[in-house]
Amino acid sequence: MKISVFGMGYVGCVTAAALSRRDNYVVGVDVNQQKVQMVNRGEAPVLEKGLVELVAESVRAGRMRATANGAAAVVETDLSLVCVGTPAKKNGSFDYRHLLSAITEVGEGIKRKNGNHVVAIRSTVLPGTTESMLIPALQNSSGKKAGIDFTVHTNPEFLRESSALHDFDNPPFVVIGNAEGTDGFLLEKLYEGTGPVCHTTIKTAEMLKYVCNTFHALKITFANEIGSICQAVGVDSHEVMDLFCRDTKLNISPAYLKPGFAFGGSCLPKDLRALLYQAKTLDVQTPLLTGVAQSNQLQIQRAIDFVVDSGVKKVGMVGLTFKPGTDDLRESPLVSLSEALIGKGIDLRIYDPNLVLNNLVGANKIFIEEQLPHIGRLLCDSFDELMAENEFIILGHRYDGLKDKLMRLNGNVRVLDLARFFGLEQTPSAYRGICW
């Protein structure tokens, strides 16, 4: 395949060289004439393990060259990968000038071409940027129509400096964001034999890059704060984290990584508070861990605000215990939500098939008597009873058999989903997810 790669920096040069090794003809494009000359001499303009040898071999074999003429590179290739840097400004926003300049060049090349041209954005851009900024810029500079005369995809890179060539050949996945009506087949062919290919929307692919990088930053900061506490109490932090990582069911796993409602129960809130208390007594600052409880409370507040802002007065809630399959009410976020709504003057009714008041004993009974002393009159015996009386339904737990009934709700009944009862493809008419 004939490919043009815009940007000969850490991402672009690695991408160009790695693709040339896979028997593609690659033209690297850069506005920096020094980088262009280095590539054409068989030299790598950036330091990366194995890159010098690969660039030299590819240039010598005639599979790779570089130019400053981006439009001409587009004319002679089938596909353009845009790997131009998007440096951050002091306020955190991106400087898109270099990217837009490259996009304009791509468009000028498309203008001179007959037939379809594929453009893939590998530059890191905020969600919505490709559709709101880059595609219009391509259409303006080319005078042609996206989806008809050329195709645009997002193809975020997950390369780490110092191991980028290895990462290119062994990715966790290859993500291709497709515009409606496009399949990304030509782009997928580039990565045959590397990693699993995941097709999604353009905006989802853009967002995923930020989610991955933010999570990596989160992991580092979490480990460092735990390490600081361990050091203060005389515990080997590396041994703690080595053991921590052996749990691949909960700790190093997809567990707890689906957006939803707040956490609660008898363990997580209590143990978090205890660890933060000890850190404070030891004068160890833990801003990340401290923010966990604050963020959890904000998720409860989001639900409160959505119900109150709707203006309704009669609300039904499915679920009250801290999670399905238990009658444990201790520190349940749904109890906190109920308490707040009642305090706002909401007439609240609750359906929870796991909750039998006469069976509650000990700390569980004491907790609910203190938090919701009149809980008995709030409970409904069935979901049908709950639906019949209320103009707003909160879905706190998922229970079998409720989805069909929810789909038959009167269109005037609003639904707030805290438990992902529904995907976005099929929902009740007046539906909203807590964070989807």
> Which residues are catalytically annotated?
267
Asked if 105 contacts 70 with a C-beta cutoff of 8 angstroms, the reply is yes
| Structure token pair of residue 12 | 């672009």
Residue 3's closest CA among 44, 85, 63, 57? 63
Reduced 3-state DSSP string for the chain: CEEEEECCCHHHHHHHHHHHHCCCEEEEECCCHHHHHHHHCCCCCCCCCCHHHHHHHHHHCCCEEEECCHHHHHHCCCEEEECCCCCECCCCCECCHHHHHHHHHHHHHHHCCCCCEEEEECCCCCCCHHHHHHHHHHHHHHCCCECCCEEEEECCCCCCCCCHHHHHHCCCCEEEEECCCCCCHHHHHHCCCCCCEEEEEHHHHHHHHHHHHHHHHHHHHHHHHHHHHHHHHCCCHHHHHHHHCCCCCCCCCCCCCCCCCCCCCCCHHHHHHHHHHHHHHCCCCCHHHHHHHHHHHHHHHHHHHHHHHHCCCEEEEECCCCCCCCCCCCCCHHHHHHHHHHHCCCEEEEECCCCCHHHCCHHHHHHHHHHCCCHHHHECCCHHHHHHHCCEEEECCCCCCHHHHHHCCCCCCEEEECCCCCCCCCCCCCEEECCC
SS3 (DSSP) at 119? strand
